[in-house]
């Protein structure tokens, strides 16, 4: 039997959010709040950058010290902006990756600075194709620099890179990167959205992932991995699912990931469009409310 959950890390897109909405369901929002009121630390763990995450949590009345693991683990902050940890991708490595990844799709680098220039790319027209919705949502933060390498010459290191395109091309990009001499100088994680034939290959500092950040956060809190739950739906969630002692894969996850979950002993939640996160958290809270055998 698992010990009571003290920390739960929850992915955002495809997990907390519905498939075709940027607004969390009322049931999921209530479940997050109820978990916090029961003394469970709720951490949001997403590939989104912090500024693209915070607006989705406004109005939910979550605790100000709610941890946000953003940029796939490169940044850890609280909801009210207190910094916990931050990692950087060395600019010299990022410059080389521009040339390596440019043939595969739209390349973007993220800097940990507010406002215009937080996101830098060199071809807005190309980005307006497959990731047009992302461009529109982030337009005020985007700066166009040609060539992209020029944005990496002033000594400031980005926190992550990203290349986006069709699923097939992003799998090819991942193979090319892993076969290159630069594979040991960075991490890459792939997120796929088959319904849109869209994949994102995130390029992170060496050793960084959602799993690394979750382990860091749990250690800071004095929480054992057996007391930690992770909930996710995509390939960039695998590291945190592997680290957590209690892992849950969403029912809308790719077939290959759900098959992996069965071999790893991970549980499966209902899909995101059926409030799967709330179903899991409600069950956790029900178990916590039951008296232990020693109390009977």
Q: Identify the burial level of 120 via C-beta atoms within 10 angstroms of its C-beta, where 0-12 means exposed, 13-18 middle and 19 or more buried.
A: buried
**Mean pLDDT within 63-80:** 97
pLDDT at 294 exceeding the cut of 60: no
With a pLDDT cut of 90, the percent of the chain lying above it is: 86
The angle at the Cα of 168, spanning 96 to 182, to the nearest 5 degrees, equals 20
C-alpha to C-alpha distance for 16 and 2, rounded to whole angstroms: 23
**Partners of 190 in the β-ladder:** 201
Instruction: Give the torsion through C-alpha atoms of 79, 86, 217, 209, to 10 deg.
Output: 110
User: E strand or H helix at 214, and its extent?
Assistant: helix 210-221
* Out of 164-168, 189-193, 249-253, 287-291, least confident range: 287-291
Instruction: Give the torsion through C-alpha atoms of 215, 220, 225, 227, to 10 deg.
Output: -140
How confident is residue 125, by pLDDT bands cut at 50, 70 and 90? Answer: confident
Are the CB atoms for 101 and 163 separated by under 8 Å? yes
The tens digit of pLDDT for each residue in 203-241 reads 999 999 999 999 999 999 999 999 999 999 999 999 999
Q: Which two tokens stand for residue 160?
A: 């992550």
Beta strand 187-193 with 160-165 is unpaired
Radius of gyration of the chain from Cα atoms?
Answer: 19
Are the CB atoms for 270 and 251 separated by under 8 Å? yes
pLDDT at 57 exceeding the cut of 50: yes
Are the CB atoms for 13 and 192 separated by under 8 Å? no
268-287 burial, b for 16+ CB within 10 Å, e for fewer? Answer: ebebbbbbbbbbbbbebbee
Are the CB atoms for 45 and 240 separated by under 8 Å? yes
How high is the pLDDT of residue 154? 77
pLDDT at 296 exceeding the cut of 70: no
Question: Alpha helices, DSSP H only, in 11-153?
Answer: 26-37, 50-57, 91-101, 124-130, 132-137
* Tokens 């990692």 -> residue: 87
Are the CB atoms for 71 and 49 separated by under 8 Å? yes
Q: How many residues does the chain have?
A: 296
Name the DSSP class of 203. E
Which domains occur in the chain, in start order?
Answer: 7-86+208-295 (3.40.50.1000), 91-204 (3.30.1240.10)
How high is the pLDDT of residue 292? 55
C-alpha to C-alpha distance for 232 and 222, rounded to whole angstroms: 23
pTM of this prediction exceeds 0.85 = yes
How high is the pLDDT of residue 291? 61
> Residue 84: what are its φ and ψ, rounded to 5°?
-110, -45
Nearest-10 crossing angle of helices 91-101, 167-179: 130
For 137: left if phi > 0, alpha if psi spans -120 to 50, otherwise beta; the answer is alpha
Question: Alpha helices, DSSP H only, in 58-103?
Answer: 91-101
For 138: left if phi > 0, alpha if psi spans -120 to 50, otherwise beta; the answer is alpha
Are the CB atoms for 207 and 217 separated by under 8 Å? no
């Amino acid at each position: 039997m698992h010990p009571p959950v003290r920390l739960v890390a929850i992915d955002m897109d495809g997990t907390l959010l519905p498939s075709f909405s940027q607004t969390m369901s009322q049931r999921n929002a209530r479940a997050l709040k109820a978990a916090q009121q029961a003394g469970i630390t709720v951490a949001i763990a997403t590939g989104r950058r912090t500024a693209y995450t915070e607006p989705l949590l406004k109005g939910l009345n979550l605790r100000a010290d709610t941890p946000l693991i953003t940029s796939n683990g490169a940044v850890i902050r609280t909801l009210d902006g207190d910094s916990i940890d931050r990692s950087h991708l060395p600019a010299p490595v990022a410059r080389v990756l521009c040339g390596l990844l440019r043939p595969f799709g739209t390349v973007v680098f993220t800097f940990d600075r507010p406002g215009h220039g937080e996101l830098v790319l060199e071809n807005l027209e190309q980005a307006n194709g497959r990731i047009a919705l992302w461009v529109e949502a982030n337009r005020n933060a985007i700066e166009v620099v040609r060539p992209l390498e020029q944005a990496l010459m002033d000594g400031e290191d980005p926190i992550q890179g990203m290349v986006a395109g069709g699923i097939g091309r992003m799998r090819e990009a991942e193979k090319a990167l892993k076969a290159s001499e630069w594979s040991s100088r960075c991490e890459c994680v792939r997120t796929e959205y088959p319904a849109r034939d869209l994949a994102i290959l995130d390029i992170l500092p060496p050793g960084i992932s959602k799993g690394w950040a979750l382990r860091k956060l749990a250690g800071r809190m004095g929480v054992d991995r057996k007391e930690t739950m992770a909930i996710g739906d995509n390939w960039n969630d695998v590291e945190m699912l592997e680290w957590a002692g209690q892992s849950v894969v969403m029912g809308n996850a790719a077939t290959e990931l759900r098959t992996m979950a069965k071999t790893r002993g991970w549980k499966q939640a209902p899909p995101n469009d059926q409030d799967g996160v709330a179903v899991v958290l409600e069950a956790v809270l029900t178990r916590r409310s039951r008296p232990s055998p020693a109390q009977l």
